[in-house]
A and B are shown apart, each in its own frame.
Chain A
Amino acid sequence: MESATTVALGSPIPASRLRSLQALGVFCGFAAGAWLGGAEAPIKIVNAGISPITVSLIMVVGVFLARWSIPAFIRGTSYVRSDLRQAPHLIIWAVLAGCMWAVANTMTIYAIRCVGLSIAFPLWNTNSLLGIFWGFLLFNELRQAGWKRWLGVLGGAVAMFGGATLLAFASSAQAIPGKATLGVIAALGAGVLWGTMYIPYRKAYLSGMNPLSFITFFTVGELATMTVLALSYRGAIPLWHEIMGARAVLFWLMFGGFVWVVGDLFQQYAAKYVGISRGVPLSNTNQLWGLLWGILVFHELQGGSQRVYAEVIGGSILMALGAVAIALSSATGREHLCWQDAAEREGKRYRIEGAYVRASMEGRDFEQSTSRRTFIDWLLLFGVTAIFIAFAAMARLPHVDIDWKWAATVSVAMLLLLVGCGINLWRTTRFS
């Protein structure tokens, strides 16, 4: 008798369906860039004397709350449970990826301290080049893609790296003498960790897992690692005093984490539908959005020299061109068949039902009846909302020069992307 896992994935997905999934993935990549970049805004207004590790920990608490409540809101936790029953081994991968994220994020703090954002940012942005490498080596991405697509993806990623370098130099800070090497190593280390973190991402999505399920366990690794790091570096009592002393700004940090999760969710869908070789560079456009917030809303770079403005304009154009090149190099039917081979390999190795993997690759639900919201979902939603309201009630807006008109304009642009991409995801895949 034939095993469930031997159900063939080899028959190609219809070309029209493939095109709409690829377009959706590209859209998600751009939406991810906007929301990941926008997450910097609430953090920028926090100018109190809080240590970077504590800032990171509080953000991760907001991230944790968002990562459990958003899936509950969209499809319900019963959907997550039924997804995990199909591929339980992916919990380990999700937790592992979360641990990697937390360590990389902490490393960036050291990198910024030692060499400044100007050098550190482009260095850790090399994660997209590593993502392309792992995607090609382990998951058959860009196989049989043709030289034009190779040129589009690799050339686009290199152009984005160049653009990122120019943008970062425009918002430069000074390196601490004698610490430059350490800072460069820290930034590269963060890039390697983030770039390798995409292996679990791709693994999960090739095996059929839903991004909503992946992130709920990803965040367990994130919060556990960040808590251990904060406790060991700060100590429990000093950490507690620091958090208590910063009560008035905790909301903004947690809100930054919440916004970040929305961006990351789009990034996960991009990784699922266009692969890590394309999804990761596209979501790296977050640097452009961060700059937009900085210049328009927070009046950064005001009174800068002509050279600075030239770097900003040149860097932005390069990044945008790189992103467009990648967006136009979506996978062909032949390349997608290679992805299906990789998915079949995963399915066989972990005895995942072929129909489940196939349904996921086509952006369909495997089981129709498992997304009903339960009492636990509503409890989660009300609980998280109540926590955010409580912290908002304690919050004070620090004295920062903010252009509210531009803040509203950029926020509306982000919301439009959220609604547009959300509707598209629902119509095309029902968030599967």
Chain B
Amino acid sequence: MTTTRNPGLEDPTDVRAIPRRSMGQTLLASGTVMALVVLIIFFFAMRPDVFLGFTNVRNILYQVAILAIISGAQTIVMVVGDFDLSVAATSALAGAVASSMMLGGTPVPVAILVGLAVGLLVGLVNGVLVAYLNLSAFVATLATLTSVTGLAFLVTEGTTLFKMPAEFNNLGQGRFLQIPLPVFIATAISLILWALLRYTTLGRRWYATGGNAEVSRLSGVNVRLARLLAFTVAGLVSAIGGILLAARLGSASAVQGEDNLLFSVAAVFLGMTVVRSGAANIVGTLVGVAIIGVMSNGLNILGVNSYVQQVVTGLIIIAAVTLSSLKTRER
């Protein structure tokens, strides 16, 4: 960009005095990214015929698409310094509401919109509890997690709903150019959230609030509104994930996608180790999601028992986070 200012090299205030590290350099410098690369090399070496084949890569992407969406929701809340235990429950409720309405004859688009509205509402409630009633995020979202799960059971009457219209199921099961639709949707949502965090005033307010809420408030940022909006957006995005999950599975139950809560928190934590500032960020979260996805897929291919997979996933998280914190300490 050309500016009229004096391009003196010794100018200490020059933006270019320290070249900004490119995203590629940043990623390579991170232990977490190394962990992902090592995992991929390892599984490739174990099963070179299968692991990096088109079908399997497509499988991995398909498997992580919904986790990527839920983790995007979690990222937003963790950017403002809170976290949301209700993301998975909210997604299940949204999926259940949309499905039950379709089974009742409501047109698919309307049912989806109502499902999204339900997610938005749950997020709004979380936001009011945390930002305006000053409950801790842990307590507030644990409470909504409980109530929302109860609501989902009421909506599904404790059963699994299925036989939704084909046009709905197609959203989760269809393909475009050989790639499953949820992969496109997850990519689009990640891009939108990334741009929201990076380029909008709302995103800057979110990061500032998470950095130091008091400083932000004294700088004129409406901190309460920022936190409220973060939870609300998270609720809405969770609902997208949940509705898509129902479409993918062709069914909806009150507890489906439960794993996504812990995995989403894990993915965001892994992602926080990717950047120097240690703040939650979408690119990092996607790296975290990829680690979790590659891991589970690779171990599946090797025929490892799924309980063992869970143990190993925990260990990988510890390893990646430890590596990164060691590096921070050196500085």
Q: Specify whether A and B are partners.
A: no
Using a CB–CB cutoff of 8 Å, the interface residues on chain B facing chain A are none
Using a CB–CB cutoff of 8 Å, the interface residues on chain A facing chain B are none
